Amino acid sequence: MERKSYEIIYALGGGFGGLDNAEWVKIEAYSLQDAMDYAYEEACNEYASYEGYHGLRDESEIAEEFEEADEEFTDEDVWQIYVDERDGWLEYDAREVE
C-alpha cells in the first residue's frame, strides 16, 4: 500500500480556541483513517501538555477525587473518566491533499 499526502489539524476546544487557532500540518499516511488517528494522537498529546492546568485533570487527580469522597473505584473507572474528559476537549480533522 502506498502512502499519500494528508493534512491534519488538532487543538483543544473551549477556552483554548479550538481549530480556529490551529494550522494544518502535512503528513504522509496510508489512509485517511490513519491520518485521522494520527491527528487524534496529536490532540491527545496537546491535552497531556496542559494536564493539571486550566482545570484539565490527569488520572491521579481523578483518583484523588474518588479517595476524598471515600468511594470505591478501579483503575478502569479512573481511565474511563479521564478518557471521557480528555476527548471532550479534543478537536481534530484530516484531509487528503494532492
Q: What DSSP assignment string belongs to the chain?
A: ---EEEEEEEEE-GGG-GGGG---EEEEESSHHHHHHHHHHHHHHHHHHHTTSTT---HHHHHHHHHHTT----HHHHHHHHHHHHHHHEEEEEEE--
Query: With bands split at pLDDT 50, 70 and 90, how would you rate the model's confidence at 60?
Result: very high
Domain count, the chain: 1
pLDDT for res 73: 84
Q: How confident is the model over 74-90, as pLDDT tens digits?
A: 999 999 999 999 999 99
Q: State which residues form the domain around 13.
A: 4-96
